[in-house]
Chains A and B, each alone.
Chain A
Amino acid sequence: MSDPVPQPTEPGAASAVDPVAPIDRAGGYLGPTGAAAVAAARRATPTRWRLLLRRPAFFAGAGILLFWVVCAVFGHAIAPYNPLAQQLLAANAAPSSAHWFGTDPLGRDVLSRVVTGARDILIITPLATILGTVLGTALGLAMGYFGGWFDTAASRLVEAFLALPFVIIALLFVVAVGSSIVGITVIIGLVFTPLIARTVRAAVLAERHQDYVSASRLLGENPARVMFGEILPNVMPAIVVEFTVRLAYAIFAVATLSFLGLGIQPPTPDWGTDIAANYSGLLAGYWWQTLFPALAIASLVIAVALIADSIEQVLSS
């Protein structure tokens, strides 16, 4: 068994997973990844991490991710041309030995823009995911640990946020604060917060009545110490899974926002922005201007998804 299989509940056994559907105790739906993350947390042992190295999907994903990280760091040195240099006489040129991926309507080299386009997305997405994970973990720990009216109120608010598709919330708020790199990072981080809080909360509920928690409470430790010192290390695997899954979503989201004209702004090389700028040229046959950035996004996001899935499977196998 290697997927988010709903575990049968033994009578009297504490389980975060319902026998029928992954439903947390407030009756809310956790989603396939959230349920798996919680299940993974309960089975994690240090030796399982070593199993990761035996998975081909993990190696493939890590290899592709490494390639794009190298492009992000050394992109301007590797790229054959300046990604901003316009050569209007060579506009819309098909792929050739001079321009392997052709040129765009302004005569800029598509290969150079694809290579250097890795930078901004690989800066924004990890930062946004870290922000969302830190805030979501704090909120989820507090919701799960304190329970009561605080948990009820926060759960309802989370529920209301989840009723809106991620892209639409992001759209709503990006229009409100404008599309700077800092703005997008903060918005994606904040939009992730309730999603991550929900998974962490479910994981905390599974831990809250364990003896070690009761013991440290009886010792008179303050709530913050119990939450962060005792419970947090035990729900860490769930958080790691959640982080990698959300990282893939963040790439999805930033690329989508860029495509909608609300992300990284031109002329900065960016895959989503370049696709938005050039996709009308598809009908004229200029497929290279959009296909190569599209393949770049696809390869990056699939790589991160494969890494996330491998970690999740290793932790839950």
Chain B
Amino acid sequence: MAAFLLRRLGLMVLTLLLLSLIVFFAGQILPGDPGRAVLGPFAANSAVQSLDHQLGVDRPLLTRYLSWLGGLLHGNFGTSYAYRSAVEPFVRAALINSVKLAALAFVIVVPLGIAGGVIAALYEGRTADRVISVTGLSLSSVPEFVSGIVLIVVFGVTLKALPVTASAGAGAGDLDQFRHLILPAIPLVLVLFGYIARMARAGTIEALNSDYARTAVLKGLPQTTVIRRHVLRNSLLPTITVIATQTGYLIGGLVVVETLFNYQGLGNLIYKAAQAKDYAMLEAGVLVIGVVYVVATLIADLLLTVLNPRLRLGGTE
């Protein structure tokens, strides 16, 4: 177990290092000059060069990468070119906002997706299964801004039931803020529902066809007990992995949802930083997403190992 943990942690560090390389070099080949982007098209060349020098972007790439990486390890995410202040408070505030939105989406979609998948599996091949499977597949392929538009038209504009912006504004109560997050969370729920339901369905069908489930039925246990105690405990393991891997896609979806609903989260931060060529902000935002994803995957692996004695005792195949 300790060796497994160490190996996983080592791989995680390697992945993060590669990720930082990808992010840094993609950030550096962005065309345009940060000094020029900050000062505008009419600034004198000498002013642009002196700002570039002050920001340190005229140094060789390798030096810049190493000093950037060194800063990251000390918790220094760099200085925003656009705001001329440290990136870290912006990223932290945005991350907290995004986590709220993502958490709401997860709290809705995980039980819904699992329930949908299990119901589809119990009625495999019948109408209920086809309806859930085709609906899930269709919904998960529709971009978030498309379902978001439909939701705004129906609930915001026509029924006037829910607010169409995600931020309740300063001084609003928690309940009010929660109401504002419902509509933005639904597009994320719609995309994720299909994936989670699909995995829960597959796992449940496999568990239903297993020898132990057949034994439980044949020894006369009631169907609900068979499902609750024998089927679900085994069928939901693969679903955990899917839920963890979907966190990455969830954050990708946040870029769109936060733009559509004008919410100050991580996705919106990255989008605005990309437009302003604010490298430090962009790199910090993208790296935070990568870290969240890698850590979520690690937690899912560990959880899977703890829940599944076959993996814990037999090691990885």
Contacts and interface: CB of A to CB of B under 8 A. Distances in A.
Interface of A: 1-6, 8, 18-23, 25, 27, 29, 31-32, 57, 156-157, 159-168, 171-173, 175-178, 248, 252, 255-256, 259-261, 272, 275, 279, 282-283, 285, 287, 290-291, 294-295, 297-298, 301-302, 304-306, 309
B196 to A, nearest CB: 10
Contacts of B137: 305-306, 309
Given A166-B249, A302-B141, A171 B255 contact: yes
B304 interface: yes
Interface of B: 11, 14-16, 18-19, 21-23, 26-27, 29-31, 125, 133-134, 137-138, 140-147, 149-150, 152-153, 156-158, 164, 195, 198-199, 201-203, 205-206, 209, 237-238, 241-242, 245, 248-249, 251-253, 255-256, 259-260, 270-271, 274-275, 277, 282, 286, 289-290, 293-294, 297, 304, 308, 310-311, 316-317
11 contacts: A20-B310, A21-B241, A162-B248, A163-B19, A168-B255, A176-B26, A260-B259, A283-B156, A291-B150, A302-B142, A306-B138
B316 A302 contact: no
Contact of A5 (B141, B206, B282): B206
A260 B271 contact: yes
Contact of B251 (A2, A27, A165, A275): A165
A291 B149 contact: yes
Nearest to B241: A21
A165 B249 contact: yes
Nearest to A170: B252
B304 A163 contact: no
A23 B238 CA distance: 10
A interface: dominant SS: helix
Contact of A57 (B134, B198, B259, B304): B134
A48 B25 CA distance: 46
B198 A163 contact: no
A302 B297 CA distance: 29
B7 to A, nearest CB: 9
Contacts of A305: 137-138, 140-141
A288 B277 CA distance: 34
Contacts of B271: 171, 260
Nearest to A284: B157
Contacts of B22: 160-161, 164
Give the one of B134, B142, B286 with max A CB within 10 A. Answer: B142
A240 B289 CA distance: 31
A228 B195 CA distance: 33
Q: Which 9 A/B pairs are nearest by Cβ-Cβ distance?
A: A165-B252, A160-B18, A305-B141, A167-B252, A21-B238, A294-B149, A302-B138, A294-B146, A163-B290
Contacts of A163: 15-16, 19, 248, 290, 293-294, 297
Nearest to B209: A1
Contacts of B282: 172
Contacts of B125: 2
B252 A166 contact: yes
Nearest to A165: B252
Given A20-B237, A164-B286, A304 B256 contact: no
A285 B157 contact: yes
Contacts of A3: 133, 198, 201-202, 205
